[in-house]
Amino acid sequence: MSSRLRKLIPVALSVLAVLLLGACGESHTKVTTGTYAGESGQNAPYLDVGPLVYQVQLSRQLNPANSEDAGYLQGLTPAEQQLKTGEEWFGVFMQVYNRHESLSFPSTENITISDTQGNVYSPLPPPLGNPYAYRAGPVGPSSVVPPADTTAQFGPTQGALLLFKIKVVSLDNRPLKVKIVDPNDPTQTASAVLDV
């Protein structure tokens, strides 16, 4: 083998290594859009919103006559329990991750869902005494909401519940989309199509 060829081999291998490593992508790429639709949320995105990461575990209509769903509605006042004609209960079950090892950050209360016709819904305030309810607040270092050893974490969805009253017609105007806004910087948002 000629000396010139021997000199080119290490250079070619170096270029190849740089190209291969570049193709691997950035492992810390920020994800701000995605879909929970199809495949029952498999491969659902972890949405980066500010310093926290949000993931919808499940979203669906709720039936108060069903024993499981009745538990999700506990703690509502009689006035809150009333649905207007053409309204439906809808639940979004969320997990929130703080992957920072030494800092706490607040989770947001600014989470909405919308349909394709521009109807936007905000969740009801979390009912007092409801162990499934999502509550905005500090998420400690290396922690998750709902916390380990809680009713919500051990529940069928393993997520904290955001409870909505939506128009039945919105179920015809799918897909529904969830939008999450960072409490400290409203310019930091993420959204994803739900699996209903």
Q: Is the peptide bond before 78 cis (omega within 30 degrees of 0)?
A: no
Tens-digit pLDDT profile for residues 1-31: 555 545 545 444 343 333 333 333 334 567 7
Over 50: is that where the pLDDT of 49 sits? yes
Give Cα separations from 138 to 82, 83, 99, 143, 147 (angstroms): 31, 32, 13, 10, 12
Distance CA 69, CA 66 (A): 5
What band does 123 get if pLDDT is binned at 50, 70 and 90?
A: very high
Domain extents in the chain: 27-193
- Rounded to two decimals, the pTM is 0.81
Give Cα separations from 57 to 95, 120, 136, 141, 163 (angstroms): 7, 21, 17, 21, 14
Q: Which two tokens stand for residue 13?
A: 């291998």
> Which positions ≥6 away from 12 have C-beta within 8 Å?
none
Q: Which CATH architecture has domain 27-193?
A: Sandwich (2.60)
Residue % of the chain over a pLDDT of 70: 80
